[in-house]
Amino acid sequence: MGQGQTEAAVCSGWAFLEIGGNVARVLVVDDSLLIRKQLCRVLTYSLGHEVVGEAKDGEEAVALYQQQRPDLVTLDLSMPKKIGMVALAEILALDPDARVVVVSAVVDAHSVSQALEAGARGFVHKPLRTQDGSFVDRFGRKLADALDDSSVPAGSGERP
């Protein structure tokens, strides 16, 4: 990193690899700085996407979504100020076609089905095993599925 350059600036601005010709613009939302940085590294360096913003709570997530209009959001459920389910509902109210993948340690069957029924396009369980190549592959497939418009009629707001 160059002098005066932060890890967030480097992570938020670069996309190194193109996956299937598509580089997605991603908003990463988690109250844990460590998890945000892990996701940012995997999204950018391993999967070739561009992180356009990071939010530490649901309030920031909604504001940044409105500002950035990313292609994809990774969203934690358990956060201060505004929980993930409320942020998910508000993001989908702003944009019924928003693509959101929940990344959470809250993994009971009810929470997973509630998030998917509310409009999330996928669910990834924490803890993240970013050093595990199979995790990166599975995470990449979840994101690719979320970005696949063929499974959701355009403008319908319906979820697979």
Given a cut of 50, is residue 137 above it in pLDDT? yes
Asked whether 16 and 48 are in contact (CB, 8 A), the reply is yes
pTM, rounded to two decimals: 0.77
Neighbours of 28 (CB within 10 A): 30
In a domain, 47, yes or no: yes
Identify the CA nearest to 77 among candidates 66, 88, 68, 93. 88
How far is C-alpha 56 from the chain's CA centre? 12
**143 is a domain residue:** yes
The answer as to whether 73 is a domain residue is: yes
**Residue 80 within a domain:** yes
Average pLDDT over residues 102-116: 84
Determine what percent of the chain is predicted with pLDDT higher than 90.
37
Is 160 within a domain? no
Report the CATH number that the domain containing residue 27 is assigned in CATH.
Answer: 3.40.50.2300
> Is pLDDT larger for residue 79 or for residue 157?
79
* Of 58, 44, 42, the residue nearest 16 (C-alpha): 44
Give the pLDDT score at 159.
35
Count: domains in the chain: 1
Asked, for residue 60, whether it belongs to a domain, the answer is: yes
Q: Give the model confidence (pLDDT) of 31-77 as tens digits.
A: 999 989 988 988 888 888 999 999 999 999 999 999 999 999 999 99
> Is residue 33 assigned to a domain?
yes
Answer yes or no: is 155 within a domain: no
Full residue range of the structural domain in which residue 14 is found: 7-147
Q: What is the 3-state secondary structure (H, E, C) of 64-126?
A: HHHHHCCCEEEECCCCCCCCHHHHHHHHHHHCCCCCEEEEECCCCHHHHHHHHHHCCCEEEEC
And the tokens for 84?
């993930």
For 34-64, give the DSSP string. HHHHHHHHIIIIIT--EEEEEESSHHHHHHH
Contacting residues for 91 by C-beta, under 8 A, at least 6 apart: 61, 62, 65, 73, 75, 98, 100
